Chains A and B, each alone.
Chain A
Amino acid sequence: MTAVQGVDQAFWYIIGFSLFLLTGITVVMVYFVIRYRRSIHPVSSDIRDNYGLEIVWTVIPTLIALSMFYIGWKSYVGLRTVPDDAMEVEVLAQKYSWIFVYDNDKETENELVVPLGRAVRLNVTSLDVLHSFYLPAFRIKVDAVRGMDTYAWFRADELGEYDIECTEYCGVSHSAMVATLRIVPQEEFDGWVEEP
């Protein structure tokens, strides 16, 4: 399972359970309001508690919650464990653009190009205020903090163009701080990265 699939699985697991619980709560609530409306059910029963029931509805949600925690954590581990063969790109955030620096000191602005099939490790930092590097298609996001190095990684497993956005408010043109990821075949990348 890829890291992206791991995250998506956690989404489905949590949202699935949530929809089930929400539907249950809502249906029971609406049923009670109709079934026990005063016009047909004028005298209420005096039920104040039921310890057995209360223990059940405390313990079961706790177990569900812990399972959600586990699956969420596991998918996070996938996002943090960088394969050994990953190529590294330095990412510098500034108001209001992204700078990418490659091994051979090639620099690009707002354009990240990587070869198909490679794992890519992004070493992120900021030149001024906080920014946050967000690549929705690969479910990764990490803050760019001046004076501090953070990282994220993804596997470039499909050709195409993907949006990169800044998700930490950084000023007037925050919403214009977008860049593009291009995943290209290895040969094309080799040529591109050697261009001055």
Chain B
Amino acid sequence: MSETHSFYEISSPPGMTGIKSWLLTHDHKRLGLMYLAAIFFWFNVAMILGLLIRTELMSQGRTIMGPELYNSFFTLHGVIMIFLFVIPGIPAIFGNFFLPIQLGTDDVFFPRLNLFSWYLFMFGGLFAIISLFVGKGFPDTGWTFYVPFSIEVDTNVSLTVMAAFILGMSSLLTGLNFVTTFHRMRDKSMGLMQIPLFTWSLYATAWVQILATPVISITFVLVVMERLLSIGLFDPARGGDPILYQHLFWMYSHPAVYIMILPGMGVISEIIPVFSRKSIFGYKAIVWSSMGIAIAGSLVWAHHMYTSGMSDVSVFVFSLLTFLVAIPSAVKVFSWVATMYKGAIEMTPALLLSLMFIYLFSVGGLTGLVLGSVGTNIHVHDTYFVVAHFHFVMFGGTGFAFFAALHYWWPKMFGVMYRFRPAYVGACLTAVGFLFHYVPMFILGIQGMPRRYYDYLPQYETGNFLAGFGGYLLCAGIVIMFANLLMSFRQGVAAPADPWGATTLEWKVPSPPPVHNFVKQPDIMEFPYDFSGIGNQPGAGARTGDR
């Protein structure tokens, strides 16, 4: 293996060195890492904002900030987490890095467009930063930008929705790249039922990105036009319809929930079989459930609007469809658990985080049933119950899948192993903090505490105090996990090509991979999760930095 040079040593296009070889690269792997750097930054910013919000809420009345700042902070936290972390996170980082390799090819179909997407992502982030410091500062509308409030406030709504517009463009182009790569670049001998499930999940996600993102882009343009030109589309004072805005907003933003969770499900579908050393259970059902979620998930948006004043007929239809979209997710959970039956399971940080994902995502999914059911939704809509629910799905789900993906693919991306023990400590602390943080919110919601409240009635103080306490534990756990991963560079324990005993193509190439990914034409397995060839190969325990 020593004669191959990794993609860190050889640039694409060839002949570039230093910073230029990164900023002008066409290499999907370098772009994945560049996204990682940017997203890591944004995640930390939004995490700190979240912690400040929870600190403010730990006691009644003013604790550390006033209401104006608080309202901007929860908006900023939401906007950053959604548009700059959860949506791009897994596809832009791990999708860019691993989708072409899993398909047995050397890059995405449009490498320059891929670079352009990264620049759009950076510009979108830059716009968000600018909107903090010019004019009246960051909006205090919540990430939903509901009209007519978002039309009449004098904070920087226009600039911020334009940032979201640009970020949407970046997401859309990435999706386009993945769909074309999937169809046009796949190894000739790889049939549809031989594609790894992570790539399948990205494919399903990419279609949602392509079809749904234009809706939000147009809607945001209309908000700007409404603000600047008073066109009277959404503003009831000018004969517009605020409910129309909500429909348009959720027509993207609900499918976006599946943009966020599907890649996470794909990650889990990779990790569980590898550490069970056993084929994924129900491969076809998982593929079909991904596509089913992508399609059915696009038809349930108005379940965010049961109290909005729309007709009871719409309420009926959207509630019914919402219950049906729960089924494919349940099938996936059952399949993951069944995969472990009679496996040869080896515990690693990636697997532990995946098991945590299954638990936390299940809570998120099941509490979604309370919200999908109309009568119960009326009570808990826009309360802390919703806040807890979507954090269980987006953070307990996608966030933990993101952490799991980091621990699973870290050796491949950087060629170094990390220590397991601190990773376990960090993961456990994160999960315990998570439960302390969000379980009280379910109770607060059922008690009737609305979300987006700077201050609250006295009966909600205990729950808020506990939640804040959990928030600190949670962040401490995350810091330990990240620090442990970063320490792996200093320890420098080299990772072999396949440290886990995995079967998909990215583990058949050196760690880190060479610039064109494959040293020789890859052998495509008839079934991507056939572990019969792995046999009794030693597992990861023998290869960590702990020894």
Contacts and interface: CB of A to CB of B under 8 A. Distances in A.
B375 A22 contact: no
Interface in B354-404: 355, 358-359, 362-363, 366-367, 369-370, 372-379, 381-383
Interface in A146-168: 146-148, 150, 163, 165-168
Contacts, number: 259
B149 A44 contact: no
Contact of B342 (A36, A69, A79, A167): A36
A167 to B, nearest CB: 4
Contacts of B242: 130, 145-146
Given A61-B326, A65-B323, A66-B323, A7 B452 contact: no
Given A44-B342, A68-B373, A141-B381, A61 B330 contact: yes
B1 interface: no
A136 B375 contact: no
A24 to B, nearest CB: 9
Contacts of A134: 382-383, 448, 450
Interface stretch (A109-117, A170-178, A187-195): A170-178
A84 interface: no
Given A10-B375, A61-B326, A172 B140 contact: yes
Contacts of A163: 448, 457
B373 A139 contact: no
Interface residues of A, number: 78
Nearest to B312: A80
Nearest to B282: A49
A86 interface: no
Contacts of B243: 145, 148
Contacts of B343: 32, 36, 41, 44-45
Interface string A2-32: 0000110011001100100110011011001
B341 interface: yes
Interface residues of B, number: 92
Name, among B341, B372, B539, the residue most crowded by chain A CB atoms within 10 Å (CB to CB). Answer: B341
A137 B379 CA distance: 9
Given A44-B276, A47-B341, A61-B330, A71 B373 contact: yes
A145 B358 contact: no
A79 B312 CA distance: 11
A165 B148 contact: no
B337 A28 contact: yes
B504 interface: no
Residue of B281, B330, B338, B373 ringed by the most chain A CB atoms within 10 A: B373
B307 A25 contact: no
A142 B366 contact: no
Interface of A: 6-7, 10-11, 14-15, 18, 21-22, 25-26, 28-29, 32-33, 36-38, 41-50, 53-54, 57-58, 61-62, 65-66, 68-69, 71-76, 78-80, 128-130, 132, 134, 136-137, 139-143, 145-148, 150, 163, 165-176, 178
Interface of B: 67-68, 71, 140-142, 146-149, 152-153, 236-237, 242-243, 276-285, 306-309, 312, 315-316, 319-320, 323-324, 326-327, 330-331, 333-335, 337-338, 340-347, 355, 358-359, 362-363, 366-367, 369-370, 372-379, 381-383, 446-448, 450-457, 527, 529-532, 536, 539
22 contacts: A7-B379, A22-B359, A22-B366, A29-B337, A41-B344, A42-B344, A44-B277, A45-B343, A46-B531, A48-B283, A73-B375, A76-B374, A76-B375, A129-B152, A130-B146, A139-B379, A143-B308, A145-B242, A168-B382, A169-B71, A174-B71, A175-B456
